[in-house]
Amino acid sequence: MAAASLHALLEHSIDYAGLFPPAELALQPALENQSSYVRSDDRWMLGAFVLPAGKFSAAAPYLALFDSDHPLRVSALGPKTTTVFEFQVALRDAVKAIKSFSTADSRVSVEQFEMPLPPGAIADSLGGANAFLDEFNLEVFWETPAERAVETIESLAGGSAGFKLRTGGVTADAFPTSRQIAKALIASGRCQVPIKFTAGLHHPVRLFHSSVLTRMHGFLNVLGAGVLAAEHSWNEEQTEEMLNDEEPKAFIFEEAKFAWRNAEISTAQIRARRQLVTSLGSCSFDEPRDDLRALALLP
C-alpha cells in the first residue's frame, strides 16, 4: 500500500479530464475509462469526471457504465465567455443543465462546478453568480489567468467559492511561473479560499518535457507546497523553492509524516490542509500513477 502520508496528500486529488488536450478523447471512451477507474485499486486517488455542462445530454446514454456503488461523480464545467452578459447567460444555462442532469439518474452526482470568469472587473462577474448555484450542494471554483490569481482569490475571501489555477497546457506559454503559483498558494492560505489546479500536472515531480519544450510543474511539488506553505506560514520565496525542486528523492513519504528536505507535516495535518488545496484536473489518470510507481511510491 502507499504510505499513509501519500494517501492523505493524493486522496481524491485527480479529477479525470480525458475529454481535454492533449488526450482529447471522445465522450464514450473517456467515460469508459472513468467507469474502469472507479472500480480500480487506485480509485482512492480519483476525483470527479470533468464534463462540460453542454455535454450532459450526450453523456446520458453512457450512465449504464456506472451503478450506485460506482457512480459517475461529475465536476461540471462552464464555458469560457468574453463579457459579463455572456457569462451570466452561460451560467444560467449551466445551472439548468446541472439541475436536469443531477436529478435524472441516481448513478450520477454533480459535485463540483468550475468556470472561467470573463475579462474585466471581477466583482462585476461575481455579483450574483454564487446565488445561481446556492440551491446545489456544490464546490464552486472560478478561474482567471495566473496573473490575476491573487486579485481573484482576495475577491473570493469570506465566501464559499474557491479558485481554479491553470498550471499548464500543450504549449510552453501556457505554463505559469513557479512564482505565480507560489503567490496563488500563499494568497489561498491567507484568505482561506480553496484552490484547485488544472492542466500540465501529469508528472509527480517537476521536469523538462520535450512535448512542450519547457519545464512541467509536478503535482507533488504543487500539492506538497500547498500543504507545507500553509502549515509553516511560508513566504513566496520558500514556496517557490519547493515548486522548483526537480529531485524526486527530496520528497519523503512515511506513515506518520511527509517531508520535503528539512520541512515536515504530519499525515493528520495533511488531511486538514487539503481542505484548501483540493484537487487537480488531468487528462490522464494512468500517467500520474505510472510515474508514482516508477518512483516506488505506489505498489
CB 239 within 8 A of CB 182: yes
Any idea what the Cα angle at residue 237 is, between residues 191 and 181, rounded to 5°? 55
Q: What are the cell numbers at 262?
A: 528539512
pTM: 0.95
Whose CA is closest to 142, among 187, 192, 80? 80
CA distances from 246 to 152, 161, 238, 292 (A): 29, 32, 15, 14
Average pLDDT rounded to a whole number, residues 118-145: 86
Give CA torsion, residues 10, 167, 133, 48, to 10 deg. Answer: -40
The pLDDT assigned to 26 comes to 98
Per domain, the residue ranges of the chain are 4-292
Q: Is 87 helix (H, G, I), strand (E, B) or coil?
A: helix
CATH 3.20.20.70 fits 4-292, yes or no: yes
Among 7-11, 103-107, 128-132, 294-298, the range scoring the smallest mean pLDDT is 128-132
Average pLDDT rounded to a whole number, residues 289-293: 97
pLDDT in tens, 186-237: 999 999 999 999 999 999 999 999 988 999 999 999 999 999 999 999 999 9
Give CA torsion, residues 262, 268, 271, 273, to 10 deg. Answer: -50
Q: What proportion of the chain, given as a percentage, has pLDDT over 90?
A: 89
The pLDDT assigned to 39 comes to 98
Q: DSSP string covering 175-195, please?
A: SPPHHHHHHHHHHHHHHT--E
Rounded distance between C-alpha atoms, residue 249 and residue 3, angstroms: 15
Rounded distance between C-alpha atoms, residue 91 and residue 133, angstroms: 9
Q: Which residues have a Cβ under 8 Å from the Cβ of 204 and sit 6 or more positions away?
A: 218, 219, 220, 248, 251, 288, 291, 292, 295, 297
pLDDT at 132 over 80: no
β-partners of residue 195 are 163, 277
**pLDDT-derived band at 128, boundaries 50, 70, 90:** confident
